[in-house]
Amino acid sequence: MLSAFDRGLVTVTSWIVASLTGVMCVVVLLGVFTRYVLNDALPWTEEAARFALLWMAWLGGGLAVRKGSHIAAELVINLLSPRLRAAVVIVGQLGVIFFLAICVWYGLSLVQRVSFQSTVALGVTMQFPYAAVPVGAALMIYHVVIVMLGVKNAVSRDADVQV
């Protein structure tokens, strides 16, 4: 059950990130075209592109965690024995979870505080862009936990632990 949910979550998130990338590219090109070719800029393109980038970054961060695409200092860690390497990786992942939990907590607080504000150009509530932080951080926590379970399983099989 978790595996089907997990695959679905990764697939849906990947599609959302890919769609947001496309939306952002189209909106930026539209903004450049209307500003420099038509000499009549659309007021909402910059704001829409910024919000698409914000959501794309926070959702994509979770996918990067899952695939191990984030930067890692592997030189020293790779010199350790597999069990010690796993312990170091798990301690590091616990630190990441702690930081992301703070992002979720304060992100939710900010979402509540900006409920009465709306954006200038699009007219949407400021909760929409601010919600990217707690939603993305919560998804990253989920992915970090899944990665940690993979490390634990690798250690129990005496397999090599990936950083």
Per-residue pLDDT reduced to its tens digit, 7-47: 999 999 999 999 999 999 999 999 999 999 999 999 999 99
User: Is residue 161 a part of any domain in this protein?
Assistant: no
H helix or E strand, kind and range, residue 92? helix 82-113
- Separation in Å, CA 41 to CA 14, 34, 44, 64, 124: 31, 5, 9, 35, 20
Q: Domain for residue 25, yes or no? A: yes
Residue type, 139: L
Sign (positive/negative) of CA torsion 69, 81, 161, 144? negative
3-state secondary structure of 12: helix
Question: What is the C-alpha to C-alpha distance for residues 81 and 59, in angstroms, rounded to an integer?
Answer: 33
Token pair belonging to 61: 């961060």
Q: What is the mean pLDDT of residues 156-160?
A: 55
Look at the chain and report how many structural domains it folds into: 1
Percentage of the chain modeled with pLDDT above 90: 67
Distances, alpha carbon 89 to alpha carbons 25, 26, 49, 83, 158, in Å:
36, 40, 36, 10, 15
- Tell me which residue range forms the domain holding 61: 2-156
pLDDT for the residue 129: 95
In a domain, 60, yes or no: yes
Angle at 41 between CA 38 and CA 43, to 5 degrees: 155
Average pLDDT, the chain: 90
Judge whether 163 lies within some domain: no
Domain contains 38: yes
Q: Is residue 162 part of a domain?
A: no
User: Tokens at residue 103, please?
Assistant: 């992002």
